[in-house]
Amino acid sequence: MFLILFFRAYLAIQRNPVFEVMQIPATAIDRWVGFQPWTLGLYLSLWVYTALPVALQPDLHQLVRYCAHISAMCLLALAVFFLWPTSVSDAVGPRGGGGLFAAMYAVDDAGNACPSLHVAASVFSFLWLRAMLADVGAPRWLALMNACWCVGICYSTLATKQHLLIDVLAGAALGLAGGWWSVRASRSSKQRVQ
């Protein structure tokens, strides 16, 4: 239910900004990365990646707590999008890529750019998965795979031209702050219960 309400608000804010939309400028890194259609799979894999911490929660209490924390981060991003609407459309210009890209652009255009919620959710999920893997003594290759998947998703936001470096850095900061707080709060809650 939260996802339905969230996306209704996300798209309403994106399509009907109340305040003037600020265009995020491209950096030299954005121009260097260029448009790379092959990264669309990585970009869309966010939905699988962010589902993993949800699916791996050990009990209903932890699941509710996790959902409350990631929801708080998403609501903070929505407040930023509402008060400071941003877009990358001027910097990236027309984007190509064919049918899947056209479908993605029809749903999620170049607005609500900064901070990148795609990156924030990836980093938040990375921190949770890292903590969960450490808790069960998982092999190192799983920790490496977790890090590579997160970095790949973050890179894909630049390579699909959905975001620019400034958005990615702001999204990473939001995800780091939210994820660190969430994992820390969850661990201190677990210790109090034990």
What tens digit of pLDDT does each residue of 5-49 get?
888 988 888 888 899 998 989 999 999 998 888 999 999 999 999
For the chain, the C-alpha Rg in angstroms (whole number) is: 17
How many CB atoms are located within 10 Å of the residue 46 CB?
Answer: 21
pLDDT at 193 over 60: no
User: For residue 110, what pLDDT is reported?
Assistant: 65
- Indicate the pTM of the whole model: 0.91
Q: How confident is the model at residue 147 (pLDDT cuts 50, 70, 90)?
A: very high
When pLDDT is averaged across residues 137-153 and rounded to a whole number, the result is 98
In this structure, the number of other CB atoms found within 10 A of the CB of residue 59 comes to 8
Q: Who wins on pLDDT, 165 or 101?
A: 165
pLDDT tens-digit series, residues 89-115: 767 666 666 777 777 776 666 677 899
The alpha carbon dihedral of 117, 178, 34, 147 has a sign of negative
